[in-house]
Amino acid sequence: MDPLRWSSSPSSSGTSSPRTPPCEMLGYVGIEAVLDQLKIKAMKMGFEFNIMVVGQSGLGKSTMVNTLFKSKVWKSTPPGLVGTIAQTLQLHSVTHVIEEKGVKLKLTVTDTPGFGDQINNDKCWDPILNYINEQYEKYLQEEILITRQRRIPDTRVHCCVYFVPPTGHCLRPLDIEFLTIEERENFRRQIQHDLKTHCIDVYPQKCFDDDINDRILNSKIRERIPFAVVGADREHLVNGKCVLGRKTKWGIVEVENMAHCEFPLLRDLLIRSHLQDLKDITHNVHYENYRVCRLNESDALPRGPGWVKLAPAPTSPPATPGPSKVRRRTQDNSTE
């Protein structure tokens, strides 16, 4: 984990509250041992991470997921879909437990075959939005029970990675090899301009920069989005070393070579520096918005301690307040 990201939760604060001045200590107490306790507990429980990949068929989503986690997480062609194009958007999820140096990660990957592959793609995003809200609803229904599980299963989507064809039209990942550096940068600037024009705010948003260190790190990431990446699941011998790469008639495109592609930036963002932050924002901002809206629109009638009766879930996604409002409320509550 990047040392700059030690306090990345939207509700965290790096300074003491003015109402509680620090107390001068006369000797060693051992408070720092709580970090070891948290580490031991986290190692026993493991971690969960749910990622969704969205994009047209043939862009290498499955290969990219396998490359990110250096595992056969997802097969390139799901059973039953060989040689066919889905008539409607169908969501498929797979779950694996990955262990590295004693740390267990329960990884769930949700693919969206059929997205953007039809002649008429109107409202093709609705099943994705419905799926995300369904996971929020499942978590909420467990959360409001009087007797609930000690650890609520978390199927909420923590991150959605959107794949853009590298030349602006439906080409395969190999087409990126034909882009010059200048063409790649021009394409990046065009996408950044389109995102800004249509007010699409991608992660990491500026409102979540808690301090100067966050601002510096996230600014560098925002400048590089979207990342130009190449996925590969085969190793090749380059200068006497085995490296992950894609072989072409011009040579080997090395996945982890920044001179070839920006895969290391995407990997570091999703896994090494911002994974916990993505989970925190999902819970403290996006899920909190959903929870507030659902409770406000329900016929809330107390039936015992902690009981809330919810109205049926709406078919359309509820309107949610902006993330900055929830974030400010969380910070205010933390100082009380």
Instruction: Spell out the per-residue pLDDT of the chain, length 336, in tens.
Output: 444 444 444 444 445 455 778 888 888 888 999 999 998 988 888 999 999 999 888 888 888 998 899 888 876 655 444 455 555 578 999 999 999 988 999 999 999 887 877 777 788 889 999 999 999 999 999 998 888 888 899 999 999 999 988 765 444 444 445 567 788 888 889 888 988 999 888 998 888 888 898 899 999 999 999 998 888 888 888 888 888 888 887 788 889 888 888 999 999 999 999 999 999 999 999 999 999 999 888 765 445 455 556 667 776 665 555 554 444 444 444 444
CATH code, domain carrying 120: 3.40.50.300
Residue 106, SS3?
Answer: strand
- Residue 321 domain flag: no
Position 49 scores a pLDDT of 96
- Residue 324 domain flag: no
**Domain residues for 274?**
32-79+87-144+153-164+226-298
- Residue 12 domain flag: no
Position 268 scores a pLDDT of 93
- Residue 181 domain flag: no
- Residue 315 domain flag: no
Residue 84 and residue 86: Cα distance in Å, rounded?
A: 6
The amino acid that residue 174 corresponds to is L
**Which secondary-structure segment (H or E) carries 265?**
helix 263-267
**Total number of residues shown for the chain:** 336
Position 122 scores a pLDDT of 80
Residues 6+ apart with CB under 8 A from 63: 76, 173, 231, 232, 233
DSSP string over 270-309: IIIISHHHHHHHIIIIIHHHHHHHHHHHS-----STT--P
CA 326, 330, 335 angle in degrees (round to 5)?
150
Position 253 scores a pLDDT of 86
Position 25 scores a pLDDT of 80
The number of domains in the chain is 1
- Residue 171 domain flag: no
- Residue 269 domain flag: yes
pLDDT in tens, 202-237: 998 888 888 898 899 999 999 999 998 888 888 888
- Residue 245 domain flag: yes
Q: What is the DSSP letter of 319?
A: P
